[in-house]
Amino acid sequence: MLKKRKQPLLMLTVLVISTAGLVYELLGGALASQRLGDSITQFSTTIGVYLFSMGIGAWLSGYVTARVAETFVHVELATAIVGGFEAPILWLAAGHASSYRAVLYALLGLIGTLVGLEIPLVMRIVKDELKFETLVSRVLTFDYIGALVGSLAFALVLVPWLGMLRTSLFFGLLNIAVALLSTFILADLIRRGTLIRLRVASVVIAMALVVVFIYARRIEVLGEEETYGAQIAYAEQSPYQRIVLTASKGGVQLLLNGNLQFNSIDEYRYHEALVHPAMALAAEHKHILILGGGDGLALREVFRYRDVEDVTLVDLDHGVTDMAKRVSLLRRLNHDSMLDPRVTIVNDDAMVWLADARGRTFDVVIVDFPDPNNFSLGKLYTTRFYRILREVMRDDTALVVQSTSPLFARRSFWCIERTMAEAGFATRAYHTLVPSFGEWGYVLARRVPFDVPTRLDVQRLRFLNDAILPTLFVFGADTGPVEVETNHMNSQALVRYYDAEWSEYE
C-alpha cells in the first residue's frame, strides 16, 4: 500500500505528466503548422488525433490487471523516449514531404496513447488510499493545473528560450524524472529486480536525451539544410515563427516558417515594383508608413527619395527586424536602411497599432505582409483592416498592398483587390515577373479615383523605368479579374482561396 506521506509526491507527478502531455500536443501542432501551413487546420487535426489517441490509452489501461506501478513507470519511460524525441524526429522528417504527415500522426498517436494511460494508472495506484470523490477531484485538479502551466509556458517561456527541439527534449527529461522518482515512491509495489532495471533504464535514456539536447542546434541546421538545400547562414525561433536565412550560389534567401520571402538574385524586381509605383502616385514623400517589410528591403527603396523625412515601419516580429539590423548578409542587401535615423521601428500587430494611430496621416503607405496562408495573416487582408488603414490616409495618400500571384492564385489576388474596393478604396491592380515567385501581383490604391502613374520619380533602377511602368497594369486573359467573395473578418474567404490554389502546386 502507498504511504500517505508519498501521496503529495504522486500528485506532483500528475502535474508534471499533464504539463508534458500538453506540451507534446502543442509541439505537434506548431511543427505541423510550420511545415504544412494553415495553422487552423494543423492544430485542429493534431489535437483531434492526440485526444483520440488519449482515449485509446485510457481504454487500454483497463487491461492492466497486475503490476500497475511497474506498468506506470514503463509508460513514463516510453513517453520520455517518444515525446522527448518528437521534435527532433519531426524536424529531420521535414525534408521528406511525402512521409511527413505519416510520421507526424504516428508520433502523435503513440504519444497520445501513452499519455492516455498515465492518469488512469495513477488513479489505480492510489485508489485504496482515498475516497473515490477525493481521488477524482485531486487527480483532475492537478491534471488541469498542469494543462494551464504547459500552455502558458510553451508560448511565453519554452519556445522563445529553448526552441522547439530543446523544449521536446526537456520534457522528455521531466518524464524521466517522474519515472525515476516513481521507482522510489512506489518501491514497495515494484519487484526488486525490476526496480533496478527501471532505474538503470531511466539513467540511460536521460543520458541519451541530454546528449541530443546538447547537439540540438546541430540537428536544427542539418534538418534545415536538407529541407532548403542550402547552407544555413542564420536561424532563430522567435515567439511568432521560425526565421531562416540561407546562403548559396543561388543567392541569399529568407524563409519564415518555411515560406520563401525573397531571393537576393531577383528581390529587386519585387521591391522596386512594390515601392516605386506608389511613390510615383503620391503627392509627397515626406512621411512614409511601411507595414511588414521587417527585412528592410522595401525601406531601402524608399530611401532612394531625398525628400523622405521619416519612416514608420511596423512589423510584429522583433526577431526579423533585429536580424535586419544585425546580420551582415541582410545588412548588405538592405543597405543598412534599418539603421537610418529617419526610421522608427515598431514591433506590434499592425491592426492594433493602426487603431491607436488615428490622427496621424502619411504620404505613402506600403503594405508588405506575408501571403495570407493562415487566419492570423488573413485578418490583415480584410475589409475591417483596410477601413482602419483608411484613417491614416488623406485623399492624396498612395497605398500599395502586395497581393500574391494573379497567375497561380488568381482568385486570391482578385479577392484582395475586391476587398480593398469594398472598404472604400479606388484601386488599380498590377503585376510583374519575379522569377523566384513567378508572376506576382500588387494593388495600388487611394481614397479617391486616380490615373495610373506613367513616370517614376527616381531613375536608374535595376528593373523599372518609365517605359515599363504603365505596362504593369495590363493583364492577360489568364490573369485578369474573376468573380470572388470579399474577405471579411468572420469568414476569411481569402484564406480558403489561397489554401486551395497554392496546394495545387505543392
Q: Looking at 295, 368, 371, 499, which residue is catalytic? A: 368
Torsion of the alpha carbons at 242, 243, 249 and 250, rounded to the nearest 10: 80
Distance CA 179, CA 206 (A): 11
**Phi, psi at 216, each rounded to 5°:** -60, -40
Q: What ranges make up the beta strands (E) of 140-192?
A: none
Distance CA 212, CA 81 (A): 12
Place of cell 523622405: 308
Q: What strands lie across the sheet with 438-446, from one edge to the other? A: 343-346, 310-314, 287-292, 362-368, 393-402, 438-446, 426-434
* Secondary element (H or E) of residue 434: strand 426-434
CA atoms within 13 A on the CB side of 243: 19
Distance CA 294, CA 290 (A): 9
Q: Is 356 a catalytic residue?
A: no
* Cβ–Cβ < 8 Å for 435, 454: no
- Kindly state the DSSP code that residue 371 receives in the 8-state scheme: P
Distance CA 186, CA 6 (A): 9
* Cβ–Cβ < 8 Å for 292, 368: yes
DSSP 239-279: SS-EEEEEEETTEEEEEETTEEEEETTTHHHHHHHHHHHHH
Residue 63's contacts (CB-CB under 8 Å, 6 or more residues apart) are: none
Distance CA 176, CA 172 (A): 6
Distance CA 121, CA 127 (A): 10
**Catalytic positions, please?**
368
